[in-house]
């Protein structure tokens, strides 16, 4: 692990037991996160991006799921096997998280000041008075107007955008090294989303916290991430610096995704007719069956017999750009 690497995920497999069988939600994913970096993980529903995040945080419900194999190295620990009481000391302190719907992550019967202070008392061992002062500083930092008064308000008294600001304040209250943000702006209106994205980037500059940003939205990734991991059916299919990924996507799935989104920034209309969007035919494979070959083969226009029989290895295309595809021209 190089000095710049903060978090190292290797060959992560996370599985769930369901009535239909074992779901291989994450099926051998590896990536690194450097200090102070913003890494985007992008993919569609069920690709395993959120389960990857929950695995790093060790929030996989033990009744149904487990990290089956692989390692997650962070600050000298392997989070995949770390005992729960040690994990509790890291979570919310060295590694923090924000989720899509802040209302479900906030306690409705505690004031936001108490909730932020609670985290500070627990992890930094300071007095309640000092923790409350820290909570005020954090609310002020995430630019909640009239922060002193807001400390004594309950989550339901805040708007959706403000609740997400409170979540960010809480997540950053103990100066974490890593912030995992799972669809942090998906539930917000566009004007509020713009405010929250700007805030996250600004705070990252200020605090040096590395961010793992999990999203389905290529627009959000393009505007915030430095490096991007593209996931499909539990596997990493491509990884690249953000410019390289958008300028020269190599995996047929990444290319398909980019061609499928309607564009706001390009006037694609020709002669008054609305152009057709490129479709990706078919459906994501079921994750209850082991996938033989490339997971995308059944939907891919370039697929050959080899693609259907043998899983493609991750190939280096240079400049930190890697792709798992037999047919990609690297």
Partner 1 sequence: MSAPKTVLEVSGLVKHFPIRGGLLQRQVGAVRAVDGVGFSIARGETLGLVGESGCGKSTIGKTVLKLIEPTAGKIVLGGQDITTLKPGAMWPHRKRIQTIFQDPYSSMNPRLPAGTIVGEPLENFGIAQGRERDERVAQLFQRVGLRPDAMRKYAHEFSGGQRQRLGIAKALSVSPDVIVADEPVSALDVSVQAQVLNLLIDLQEELGLAYLFISHDLAVMRHISHRIAVMYLGRIVEITDKRTLFSTPLHPYTEALLSAATAPDPKRRGKRKAIVQGDVPSPAKPPPGCHFHTRCPYATAECKVVSPALREVAPGHHVACHLR
CA distance linking residue 328 with residue 313, whole number of Å: 11
Alpha-carbon 235 to chain mean position: 14
Q: Which is nearer to partner 1, 18 or 127 (CB)?
A: 18
Q: Which of 109, 36, 28, 38 is nearest to 71 (CA)?
A: 28
Question: Least CB distance from residue 227 to partner 1, whole Å?
Answer: 11
Q: In what order do the strands lie in the sheet with 178-182?
A: 95-98, 178-182, 210-215, 38-42, 227-232, 235-241, 322-323, 315-316
Q: Of 44 and 133, which has the nearer Cβ to partner 1?
A: 44
DSSP bridge partners of 26: 14
Beta carbon of residue 161, minimum distance to partner 1 (angstroms, whole number):
6
CB 138 within 8 A of CB 169: yes
Nearer to partner 1, 139 or 220 (CB): 220
Give me the least distance between CB of 90 and partner 1, in Å please: 32
Distance CA 41, CA 53 (A): 9
Residues in the site for partner 1, rule: CB under 8 A? 44-45, 159-162, 189-195, 197-198, 216-223, 242-243, 246, 256-258, 260-265, 267-269, 274, 276-280, 283
Q: Which is nearer to partner 1, 82 or 192 (CB)?
A: 192
- Closest CB to partner 1 among 5 and 298? 298
Nearer to partner 1, 51 or 162 (CB): 162
Query: CB of 21: closest distance to partner 1 in angstroms?
Result: 17
Do the Cβ atoms of 126 and 156 come closer than 8 Å? no
What single string gives the DSSP state of each residue in 54-108? HHHHT-S-TTTEEEEEEEEEETTEETTT--HHHHHHHBTTTEEEE-S-HHHHS-T
- Considering the complex, what minimum distance in angstroms separates the CB of residue 91 from partner 1? 30
Query: To which residue do tokens 């890593």 refer?
Result: 178
**Comparison of 85 and 265: residue with beta carbon closer to partner 1:** 265
Question: Do residues 98 and 179 touch, judged by C-beta distance below 8 A?
Answer: yes
Shortest approach of partner 1 to residue 45 CB, angstroms?
5
Please state the closest distance from residue 276 (CB atom) to partner 1, in A: 5
CA dist 96 → 48, 68, 156, 168, 285 (Å)? 19, 23, 23, 9, 32
């Amino acid at each position: 692990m190089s000095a710049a690497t903060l978090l190292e995920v290797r060959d992560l497999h996370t599985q769930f037991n369901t009535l239909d069988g074992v779901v291989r939600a994450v099926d051998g994913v590896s990536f690194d996160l450097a200090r102070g970096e913003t890494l985007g993980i992008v993919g569609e529903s069920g690709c395993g991006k959120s389960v990857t995040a929950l695995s790093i945080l060790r929030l996989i419900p033990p009744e149904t799921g487990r990290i089956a194999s692989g390692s997650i190295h962070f600050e000298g620990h392997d989070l995949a096997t770390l005992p729960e009481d040690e994990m509790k000391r890291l979570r919310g302190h060295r590694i923090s998280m924000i989720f899509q719907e802040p209302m479900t992550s906030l306690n409705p019967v505690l004031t936001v000041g108490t909730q932020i202070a609670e985290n500070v008392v627990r992890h930094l061992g300071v007095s309640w008075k000092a923790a409350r002062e820290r909570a005020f500083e954090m609310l002020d930092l995430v630019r909640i107007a009239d922060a002193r008064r807001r400390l004594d308000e309950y989550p339901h008294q805040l708007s959706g955008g403000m609740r997400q600001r409170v979540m960010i304040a809480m997540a950053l209250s103990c100066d974490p090294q890593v912030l995992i943000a799972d669809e942090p702006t998906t539930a917000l209106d566009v004007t509020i989303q713009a405010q929250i994205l700007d805030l996250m980037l600004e705070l990252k500059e200020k605090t040096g916290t590395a961010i793992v940003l999990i999203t389905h939205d290529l627009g959000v990734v393009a505007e915030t991430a430095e490096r991007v991991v593209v996931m499909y059916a539990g596997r990493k299919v491509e990884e690249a610096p953000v410019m390289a990924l958008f300028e020269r996507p190599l995996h047929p799935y990444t290319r398909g995704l980019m061609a499928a989104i309607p564009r706001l920034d390009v006037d694609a209309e020709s002669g008054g007719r609305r152009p057709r969007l490129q479709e990706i035919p078919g459906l994501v494979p079921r994750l209850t069956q082991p996938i033989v070959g490339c997971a995308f083969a059944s939907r891919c226009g370039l697929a050959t017999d080899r693609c259907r029989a043998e899983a493609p290895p991750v190939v280096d295309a240079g400049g930190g750009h890697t792709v798992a595809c037999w047919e990609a021209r690297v």
